[in-house]
Amino acid sequence: MDILSTNKPYNCYCGTGEAMKFVSSLVFDGYKADADTVKVAIVTDRIVSGYYYNRFEEQFLERGVKPVLIPVECSDGTKGLKEAESVYEYLVDFRFGSNDWLIALGGGSIIDVAGFCASVFEGGINLVAVPTTPDSMYGSAVADKVFLNSKRFKNVISSPFSPVAAVIDPDFLKTVPDKIKHNGYADIVRLAVLADLNLLLELVGKKNNREFLNHVYSIRNSVSSASPKLLTLGNEIASAIEGYFRFMNYSEGEALALSLYCCVDSKIREPLAKIYGMLGLPTKLDGVSTKSIMKIIKENLSRSSGQMVELVDMTNEENKRWMVKKVTIEEAEQILCKRLLVIDSDNEGVKS
Protein backbone atom coordinates (compact mmCIF):
# COMPACT_ATOMS: atom_id res chain seq x y z
CA MET A 1 0.00 0.00 0.00
CA ASP A 2 1.19 3.51 -0.84
CA ILE A 3 0.80 6.34 1.65
CA LEU A 4 -0.51 9.46 -0.05
CA SER A 5 0.73 12.94 0.83
CA THR A 6 -2.29 14.52 2.51
CA ASN A 7 -0.72 16.63 5.26
CA LYS A 8 -3.24 15.13 7.69
CA PRO A 9 -2.57 13.72 11.18
CA TYR A 10 -3.68 10.30 9.94
CA ASN A 11 -2.38 8.16 7.08
CA CYS A 12 -4.24 7.91 3.80
CA TYR A 13 -3.39 4.58 2.18
CA CYS A 14 -3.89 3.81 -1.50
CA GLY A 15 -3.74 0.47 -3.27
CA THR A 16 -5.72 -0.99 -6.14
CA GLY A 17 -7.56 -4.12 -5.04
CA GLU A 18 -6.15 -3.86 -1.49
CA ALA A 19 -9.13 -2.76 0.64
CA MET A 20 -10.56 -6.28 0.87
CA LYS A 21 -7.60 -7.42 2.96
CA PHE A 22 -5.79 -4.32 4.21
CA VAL A 23 -8.43 -2.84 6.53
CA SER A 24 -8.46 -5.82 8.91
CA SER A 25 -4.66 -5.90 8.83
CA LEU A 26 -4.60 -2.22 9.74
CA VAL A 27 -6.94 -2.75 12.71
CA PHE A 28 -5.46 -5.95 14.15
CA ASP A 29 -1.82 -5.76 13.11
CA GLY A 30 -1.20 -2.05 12.69
CA TYR A 31 -3.11 -0.94 15.79
CA LYS A 32 -2.88 -4.20 17.74
CA ALA A 33 -6.61 -4.50 18.37
CA ASP A 34 -7.47 -7.69 20.29
CA ALA A 35 -9.55 -9.92 18.01
CA ASP A 36 -10.95 -11.73 21.08
CA THR A 37 -12.50 -8.61 22.58
CA VAL A 38 -12.81 -5.91 19.93
CA LYS A 39 -16.05 -5.18 18.10
CA VAL A 40 -16.19 -3.97 14.51
CA ALA A 41 -19.14 -2.30 12.77
CA ILE A 42 -19.34 -1.50 9.08
CA VAL A 43 -21.54 1.43 8.07
CA THR A 44 -22.61 1.21 4.44
CA ASP A 45 -25.60 1.51 2.13
CA ARG A 46 -27.62 -1.03 0.20
CA ILE A 47 -25.89 -0.49 -3.15
CA VAL A 48 -22.32 -0.64 -1.87
CA SER A 49 -23.23 -3.55 0.37
CA GLY A 50 -24.68 -5.46 -2.57
CA TYR A 51 -21.46 -5.12 -4.54
CA TYR A 52 -18.84 -5.51 -1.86
CA TYR A 53 -19.99 -6.41 1.64
CA ASN A 54 -19.45 -10.17 1.57
CA ARG A 55 -15.90 -9.84 0.23
CA PHE A 56 -15.11 -6.94 2.54
CA GLU A 57 -16.46 -8.79 5.58
CA GLU A 58 -14.41 -11.92 4.81
CA GLN A 59 -11.14 -10.31 5.95
CA PHE A 60 -12.60 -9.93 9.46
CA LEU A 61 -14.20 -13.38 9.55
CA GLU A 62 -10.80 -14.90 8.81
CA ARG A 63 -9.61 -13.37 12.10
CA GLY A 64 -12.59 -14.69 14.04
CA VAL A 65 -14.41 -11.34 14.17
CA LYS A 66 -17.98 -11.06 12.89
CA PRO A 67 -18.64 -7.40 12.00
CA VAL A 68 -21.94 -5.72 12.74
CA LEU A 69 -23.51 -4.48 9.52
CA ILE A 70 -25.10 -1.04 9.97
CA PRO A 71 -27.18 -0.23 6.87
CA VAL A 72 -27.80 3.48 6.33
CA GLU A 73 -29.73 4.80 3.35
CA CYS A 74 -28.56 8.36 2.92
CA SER A 75 -27.62 10.79 0.18
CA ASP A 76 -26.51 14.40 -0.19
CA GLY A 77 -30.04 15.44 0.77
CA THR A 78 -30.77 12.89 3.50
CA LYS A 79 -27.69 12.81 5.69
CA GLY A 80 -29.15 14.14 8.90
CA LEU A 81 -29.57 13.42 12.59
CA LYS A 82 -32.16 10.74 11.80
CA GLU A 83 -29.54 8.75 9.89
CA ALA A 84 -26.97 9.33 12.63
CA GLU A 85 -29.47 8.13 15.23
CA SER A 86 -29.92 4.85 13.35
CA VAL A 87 -26.16 4.26 13.66
CA TYR A 88 -26.21 5.07 17.38
CA GLU A 89 -28.98 2.53 17.96
CA TYR A 90 -26.83 -0.27 16.57
CA LEU A 91 -23.78 0.83 18.54
CA VAL A 92 -25.77 0.96 21.78
CA ASP A 93 -27.61 -2.32 21.15
CA PHE A 94 -24.35 -4.16 20.47
CA ARG A 95 -22.62 -2.47 23.42
CA PHE A 96 -19.88 -0.72 21.48
CA GLY A 97 -17.32 1.35 23.36
CA SER A 98 -14.54 3.78 22.55
CA ASN A 99 -12.01 0.97 22.02
CA ASP A 100 -14.09 -0.63 19.28
CA TRP A 101 -13.97 0.16 15.57
CA LEU A 102 -16.30 1.77 13.06
CA ILE A 103 -15.65 1.33 9.34
CA ALA A 104 -17.28 3.77 6.89
CA LEU A 105 -17.63 1.94 3.58
CA GLY A 106 -19.29 4.15 0.99
CA GLY A 107 -19.55 7.57 -0.57
CA GLY A 108 -19.33 11.02 0.96
CA SER A 109 -22.70 10.86 2.71
CA ILE A 110 -21.87 7.57 4.42
CA ILE A 111 -18.51 9.00 5.53
CA ASP A 112 -20.25 12.13 6.83
CA VAL A 113 -22.78 10.15 8.89
CA ALA A 114 -20.27 7.59 10.18
CA GLY A 115 -17.68 10.28 10.82
CA PHE A 116 -20.15 12.36 12.80
CA CYS A 117 -21.16 9.37 14.91
CA ALA A 118 -17.54 8.33 15.49
CA SER A 119 -16.62 11.80 16.73
CA VAL A 120 -19.29 11.96 19.44
CA PHE A 121 -20.17 8.39 20.44
CA GLU A 122 -18.63 7.49 23.81
CA GLY A 123 -16.43 10.57 23.45
CA GLY A 124 -14.99 9.21 20.20
CA ILE A 125 -14.66 5.77 18.64
CA ASN A 126 -12.00 4.44 16.25
CA LEU A 127 -12.93 5.15 12.63
CA VAL A 128 -11.51 3.96 9.33
CA ALA A 129 -12.84 5.71 6.20
CA VAL A 130 -13.05 3.55 3.06
CA PRO A 131 -14.40 5.81 0.31
CA THR A 132 -15.98 4.15 -2.73
CA THR A 133 -16.88 7.10 -4.98
CA PRO A 134 -14.81 9.80 -6.71
CA ASP A 135 -16.11 12.65 -4.55
CA SER A 136 -15.40 10.76 -1.33
CA MET A 137 -11.90 9.82 -2.51
CA TYR A 138 -11.07 13.35 -3.68
CA GLY A 139 -12.64 15.24 -0.79
CA SER A 140 -14.38 13.42 2.07
CA ALA A 141 -11.44 11.18 2.95
CA VAL A 142 -9.21 14.19 3.64
CA ALA A 143 -11.73 16.72 4.92
CA ASP A 144 -11.31 18.50 8.24
CA LYS A 145 -14.97 18.19 9.18
CA VAL A 146 -18.02 16.07 8.47
CA PHE A 147 -21.39 17.65 7.87
CA LEU A 148 -25.05 16.78 8.32
CA ASN A 149 -28.12 18.51 6.92
CA SER A 150 -31.12 19.86 8.77
CA LYS A 151 -34.32 19.84 6.75
CA ARG A 152 -33.55 21.71 3.51
CA PHE A 153 -30.49 23.41 4.94
CA LYS A 154 -27.32 21.69 3.84
CA ASN A 155 -24.26 21.04 6.00
CA VAL A 156 -25.40 23.12 8.96
CA ILE A 157 -24.38 20.51 11.56
CA SER A 158 -20.71 19.62 11.77
CA SER A 159 -18.07 17.90 13.85
CA PRO A 160 -14.33 17.29 13.43
CA PHE A 161 -13.36 14.46 11.10
CA SER A 162 -10.64 12.46 12.84
CA PRO A 163 -10.35 8.95 11.42
CA VAL A 164 -7.56 6.64 12.47
CA ALA A 165 -6.87 6.18 8.76
CA ALA A 166 -8.39 6.40 5.29
CA VAL A 167 -8.03 3.55 2.81
CA ILE A 168 -8.49 4.37 -0.86
CA ASP A 169 -8.94 1.54 -3.36
CA PRO A 170 -9.53 2.69 -6.97
CA ASP A 171 -11.09 -0.71 -7.74
CA PHE A 172 -14.30 0.57 -6.16
CA LEU A 173 -14.67 3.04 -9.02
CA LYS A 174 -15.39 0.21 -11.47
CA THR A 175 -18.96 -0.13 -10.23
CA VAL A 176 -19.78 3.55 -9.73
CA PRO A 177 -22.65 4.68 -12.03
CA ASP A 178 -21.85 7.53 -14.43
CA LYS A 179 -24.09 10.01 -12.60
CA ILE A 180 -22.24 9.42 -9.33
CA LYS A 181 -18.89 9.67 -11.12
CA HIS A 182 -19.98 13.02 -12.55
CA ASN A 183 -20.95 14.10 -9.04
CA GLY A 184 -17.38 13.57 -7.90
CA TYR A 185 -15.80 15.71 -10.59
CA ALA A 186 -16.94 19.02 -9.10
CA ASP A 187 -14.37 18.96 -6.28
CA ILE A 188 -11.62 18.56 -8.89
CA VAL A 189 -13.09 21.39 -10.98
CA ARG A 190 -13.00 23.67 -7.93
CA LEU A 191 -9.35 22.88 -7.18
CA ALA A 192 -8.49 23.38 -10.86
CA VAL A 193 -10.27 26.74 -10.97
CA LEU A 194 -8.59 27.88 -7.77
CA ALA A 195 -5.07 26.75 -8.50
CA ASP A 196 -4.21 24.66 -11.55
CA LEU A 197 -6.40 24.20 -14.64
CA ASN A 198 -4.06 21.44 -15.83
CA LEU A 199 -5.73 19.24 -13.24
CA LEU A 200 -8.78 19.08 -15.53
CA LEU A 201 -6.64 17.77 -18.39
CA GLU A 202 -5.41 15.02 -16.08
CA LEU A 203 -8.98 14.24 -15.08
CA VAL A 204 -10.24 13.74 -18.63
CA GLY A 205 -7.05 12.03 -19.84
CA LYS A 206 -5.51 8.71 -18.94
CA LYS A 207 -4.11 8.91 -15.44
CA ASN A 208 -2.30 6.91 -12.82
CA ASN A 209 -4.72 6.97 -9.88
CA ARG A 210 -2.06 7.20 -7.20
CA GLU A 211 -0.20 10.03 -8.94
CA PHE A 212 -3.46 11.83 -9.69
CA LEU A 213 -4.65 11.60 -6.08
CA ASN A 214 -1.29 12.86 -4.83
CA HIS A 215 -1.60 15.84 -7.19
CA VAL A 216 -5.16 16.50 -6.06
CA TYR A 217 -4.17 16.38 -2.38
CA SER A 218 -1.11 18.54 -2.99
CA ILE A 219 -3.23 21.26 -4.58
CA ARG A 220 -5.86 20.93 -1.87
CA ASN A 221 -3.21 21.37 0.81
CA SER A 222 -1.77 24.40 -0.96
CA VAL A 223 -5.17 26.07 -1.30
CA SER A 224 -6.18 25.23 2.26
CA SER A 225 -2.87 26.57 3.62
CA ALA A 226 -3.55 29.90 1.91
CA SER A 227 -7.07 29.96 3.37
CA PRO A 228 -9.48 27.08 4.08
CA LYS A 229 -12.30 29.44 3.14
CA LEU A 230 -11.15 29.31 -0.50
CA LEU A 231 -12.45 25.74 -0.63
CA THR A 232 -15.98 27.14 -0.28
CA LEU A 233 -15.86 28.76 -3.73
CA GLY A 234 -19.25 28.26 -5.36
CA ASN A 235 -21.05 27.01 -2.27
CA GLU A 236 -23.60 29.82 -2.08
CA ILE A 237 -25.23 29.19 -5.46
CA ALA A 238 -24.77 25.42 -5.27
CA SER A 239 -26.53 25.24 -1.89
CA ALA A 240 -29.38 27.39 -3.18
CA ILE A 241 -29.87 25.14 -6.21
CA GLU A 242 -29.91 22.03 -4.04
CA GLY A 243 -32.25 23.70 -1.55
CA TYR A 244 -34.71 24.76 -4.22
CA PHE A 245 -34.93 21.32 -5.79
CA ARG A 246 -34.73 19.57 -2.40
CA PHE A 247 -31.64 17.71 -3.62
CA MET A 248 -33.61 16.02 -6.41
CA ASN A 249 -33.05 17.55 -9.89
CA TYR A 250 -29.35 18.25 -9.50
CA SER A 251 -26.80 16.22 -7.59
CA GLU A 252 -24.43 17.96 -5.20
CA GLY A 253 -21.67 17.81 -7.80
CA GLU A 254 -23.85 19.07 -10.64
CA ALA A 255 -25.03 22.01 -8.54
CA LEU A 256 -21.47 22.88 -7.57
CA ALA A 257 -20.26 22.50 -11.16
CA LEU A 258 -22.90 24.99 -12.32
CA SER A 259 -21.89 27.42 -9.62
CA LEU A 260 -18.18 27.12 -10.47
CA TYR A 261 -18.92 27.59 -14.15
CA CYS A 262 -20.54 30.95 -13.51
CA CYS A 263 -17.74 32.01 -11.10
CA VAL A 264 -14.92 31.89 -13.62
CA ASP A 265 -13.80 34.60 -16.02
CA SER A 266 -15.66 34.65 -19.35
CA LYS A 267 -12.42 33.78 -21.20
CA ILE A 268 -12.23 30.48 -19.35
CA ARG A 269 -15.85 29.44 -19.85
CA GLU A 270 -15.57 28.30 -23.46
CA PRO A 271 -12.74 25.77 -22.86
CA LEU A 272 -14.32 24.84 -19.53
CA ALA A 273 -17.63 24.13 -21.30
CA LYS A 274 -15.86 21.59 -23.53
CA ILE A 275 -14.41 19.84 -20.48
CA TYR A 276 -17.85 19.88 -18.84
CA GLY A 277 -19.23 18.19 -21.95
CA MET A 278 -16.62 15.43 -21.66
CA LEU A 279 -17.40 15.00 -17.96
CA GLY A 280 -21.18 15.04 -18.35
CA LEU A 281 -21.63 18.23 -16.31
CA PRO A 282 -24.27 20.92 -17.01
CA THR A 283 -23.53 24.53 -17.97
CA LYS A 284 -27.11 25.83 -17.80
CA LEU A 285 -29.62 25.80 -14.97
CA ASP A 286 -33.04 24.56 -16.06
CA GLY A 287 -36.40 24.40 -14.34
CA VAL A 288 -36.09 27.43 -12.09
CA SER A 289 -35.83 31.19 -12.41
CA THR A 290 -32.91 33.29 -11.24
CA LYS A 291 -35.37 35.12 -9.00
CA SER A 292 -36.27 31.92 -7.13
CA ILE A 293 -32.63 30.96 -6.57
CA MET A 294 -31.78 34.47 -5.45
CA LYS A 295 -34.58 34.32 -2.91
CA ILE A 296 -32.95 31.30 -1.28
CA ILE A 297 -29.50 32.91 -1.46
CA LYS A 298 -30.84 35.98 0.32
CA GLU A 299 -32.43 33.79 3.00
CA ASN A 300 -29.13 31.99 3.53
CA LEU A 301 -27.13 35.22 3.66
CA SER A 302 -29.56 36.71 6.17
CA ARG A 303 -28.71 33.90 8.59
CA SER A 304 -25.16 35.24 8.97
CA SER A 305 -24.39 37.43 11.97
CA GLY A 306 -23.77 41.09 11.25
CA GLN A 307 -23.93 42.97 7.97
CA MET A 308 -20.67 41.63 6.50
CA VAL A 309 -20.05 38.22 4.97
CA GLU A 310 -17.04 36.43 3.51
CA LEU A 311 -17.19 35.55 -0.17
CA VAL A 312 -14.58 33.95 -2.41
CA ASP A 313 -14.13 36.18 -5.44
CA MET A 314 -11.52 37.41 -7.89
CA THR A 315 -9.37 40.42 -7.16
CA ASN A 316 -9.80 43.44 -9.39
CA GLU A 317 -6.10 43.52 -10.20
CA GLU A 318 -4.71 42.85 -13.66
CA ASN A 319 -3.04 39.69 -12.33
CA LYS A 320 -6.27 38.21 -11.10
CA ARG A 321 -6.33 35.74 -8.25
CA TRP A 322 -8.91 34.26 -5.94
CA MET A 323 -9.24 35.75 -2.49
CA VAL A 324 -11.63 35.82 0.44
CA LYS A 325 -13.39 39.17 0.46
CA LYS A 326 -15.38 40.74 3.25
CA VAL A 327 -18.39 42.37 1.65
CA THR A 328 -21.76 43.64 2.75
CA ILE A 329 -24.75 41.35 2.31
CA GLU A 330 -26.00 43.67 -0.43
CA GLU A 331 -22.66 43.47 -2.27
CA ALA A 332 -22.68 39.66 -1.94
CA GLU A 333 -26.17 39.53 -3.43
CA GLN A 334 -25.04 41.65 -6.40
CA ILE A 335 -22.02 39.42 -7.07
CA LEU A 336 -24.04 36.21 -6.83
CA CYS A 337 -26.88 37.57 -8.96
CA LYS A 338 -24.39 38.48 -11.70
CA ARG A 339 -22.97 34.97 -11.57
CA LEU A 340 -26.41 33.40 -11.74
CA LEU A 341 -27.22 35.17 -15.00
CA VAL A 342 -24.41 33.22 -16.69
CA ILE A 343 -26.14 29.87 -16.11
CA ASP A 344 -29.73 31.09 -16.49
CA SER A 345 -31.11 29.05 -19.41
CA ASP A 346 -33.55 31.86 -20.19
CA ASN A 347 -30.83 34.47 -20.42
CA GLU A 348 -29.41 33.91 -23.89
CA GLY A 349 -27.73 37.31 -23.85
CA VAL A 350 -25.02 36.10 -21.54
CA LYS A 351 -22.19 34.33 -23.31
CA SER A 352 -21.61 30.86 -21.90
Q: Is residue 270 part of a domain?
A: yes
State which residues form the domain around 339.
178-343
The CATH number of residue 150's host domain is 3.40.50.1970
Q: Considering its fold, how many domains does the chain have in total?
A: 2
Phi, psi of 210 (to 5 degrees): -65, -45
Q: Is residue 352 part of a domain?
A: no
* Digit-coded pLDDT (tens) for 62-102: 999 999 999 998 887 789 999 999 999 999 999 999 999 99
* Digit-coded pLDDT (tens) for 232-250: 999 999 999 988 987 678 8
Together in a domain, 262 and 330: yes
Together in a domain, 328 and 184: yes
How would DSSP label each residue in 218-254?
HHHHHHHHH-GGGGGTTHHHHHHHHHHTTTSSS-HHH
* Digit-coded pLDDT (tens) for 155-198: 889 999 999 999 999 999 888 887 777 778 999 999 999 999 99
Phi, psi of 322 (to 5 degrees): -80, 140
Together in a domain, 53 and 184: no
How would DSSP label each residue in 68-121?
EEEE----TTS-SHHHHHHHHHHHHHTT--TTSEEEEEESHHHHHHHHHHHHHG
Please tell me the distance from the alpha carbon of residue 80 to that of residue 6, in angstroms, as a whole number: 28
pLDDT at 298 over 90: yes
pTM value is: 0.86
Q: Which helix (H) or strand (E) holds 49?
A: helix 46-61
Please tell me the distance from the alpha carbon of residue 149 to that of residue 152, in angstroms, as a whole number: 7
Which of 264, 223, 256 has the alpha carbon at shortest distance from 240? 256
